[in-house]
Amino acid sequence: MVLRIFLLGLIFLVACPIQAQENSGRLTVAPSSVTNAPSATPTQPAATKAPEPTSNMVDAPLPEIANQPNVITPSQTSGTDGPKGPRDGHWYASVFGGAMVEQFQVNATSTAIGQQPLDQGPSSKLGSYAGFKVGYDFAVRDVQLAFGGPTPMRTSMELEGSYLGTYEKIPLYNVSTGSPTVGYETYSLNAYNVMLNGLVKFEDLPVTPYFGGGVGVVFMSALNHKMDVNGIVNGTPTTYSTTSSTGNNTSLALQAIVGLEKEIYDNLTLFVEYKFLAWLDVRFAYGSEPTLSTPPTQGGSNSQNDFTAQQLLSAGVKYSF
């Protein structure tokens, strides 16, 4: 009995480790029939294509471009306050000279004291014209006009002083009849104009066109005045002569300007201009003595008109600073 119990215990002790070894083997060794088990011989994993990188900064400038300083063109110079060049505002001074090519009067009459008034005709004499200007060219701006795209334009303001001198020989006619000529009025005219002008310039062209106008005052003096009449005045033969030394006048002056300018060197510009200059309500008084026609005697006279207009051509040089 004791031997039988001993044998059963011995069998139990031997069987337990064997069972534990078999269970451990089944836990560590996977059956070959399992499809997800790794192969006994390692293999290189298949290469996959990496996704292309994407960015939300497609339209943004690259840092190396965005952080670059402003580019200064060869036509500009660098100042302490940044790039400065011909498109910025600048002061300028200029001198010019030319000629008066035509002069005419509107509603103009000359009257010798004690005689019938006579109409004045246009003067055909050339005149000399010269002056100076000091002004400021404002910076170029792109202006949207009624047609086309934005147009680069510049405005300018300038103070002008000029001298106009001419020898006047004005034909005289019967009032309201026009012809024939019954005499002439002659004198040497000296006129000094002071004008404030405004200009508009079209930039970025090979030659810069501009236009504008001005308003100011004119100081005039007529020297060596003489009025000679020898003809039929209102149906009556008339002969007389008037002389006086000086007649003076101050009038409002207006002008229209059209011109072209071209830079020929740094800060140095040539320009040509056409001007239509008008003096308003011009009046001269030449003495107060009466003029008698028989015999011819010296006397005084008066002249007046709504305005006297001149067409002027000139050329000059401008220096910008």
Examine residue 277 and state whether it is found in any structural domain, yes or no. Answer: yes
Q: What is the CATH number of the domain that holds 194?
A: 2.40.160.20
Examine residue 176 and state whether it is found in any structural domain, yes or no. Answer: yes
Q: Give the tens place of pLDDT for each residue, 69-86.
A: 443 343 443 434 444 566
Contact 112, 296 (CB under 8 A): no
SS3 295: coil
- What's residue 27's pLDDT? 43
Mean pLDDT of all residues in the chain? 80
- What's residue 53's pLDDT? 55
Examine residue 75 and state whether it is found in any structural domain, yes or no. Answer: no
Examine residue 1 and state whether it is found in any structural domain, yes or no. Answer: no
Decide: residue 119, CB within 10 A, 0-12 exposed, 13-18 middle, 19+ buried.
Answer: buried
Examine residue 29 and state whether it is found in any structural domain, yes or no. Answer: no
Give the residue ranges of the chain where pLDDT is below 70. Answer: 1-86, 124, 178, 294-297
**In the chain, how many domains are there?**
1
- What's residue 48's pLDDT? 55
Alpha-helical (H) ranges within 180-308 are none
- What's residue 158's pLDDT? 98
- What's residue 13's pLDDT? 52
> How many Å apart are CA 87 and CA 188, to the nearest integer?
45
* Total Cβ atoms within 10 A of residue 177: 10
DSSP 58: S
Q: Give the tens place of pLDDT for each residue, 157-188.
A: 999 999 999 999 999 998 877 678 999 999 99
Domain that holds residue 295: 94-320
Examine residue 35 and state whether it is found in any structural domain, yes or no. Answer: no
- The pTM of the full predicted model, rounded to 2 decimals, is 0.70
Q: Give the tens place of pLDDT for each residue, 19-40.
A: 444 444 444 444 444 444 444 4
Examine residue 82 and state whether it is found in any structural domain, yes or no. Answer: no
- What's residue 276's pLDDT? 97
Examine residue 224 and state whether it is found in any structural domain, yes or no. Answer: yes
For residue 88, what are the CA distances in angstroms to 91, 135, 217, 259, 266?
A: 10, 14, 31, 21, 14
Side chain identity, residue 19: Q
- What's residue 18's pLDDT? 45
* Total Cβ atoms within 10 A of residue 301: 28
- What's residue 280's pLDDT? 96
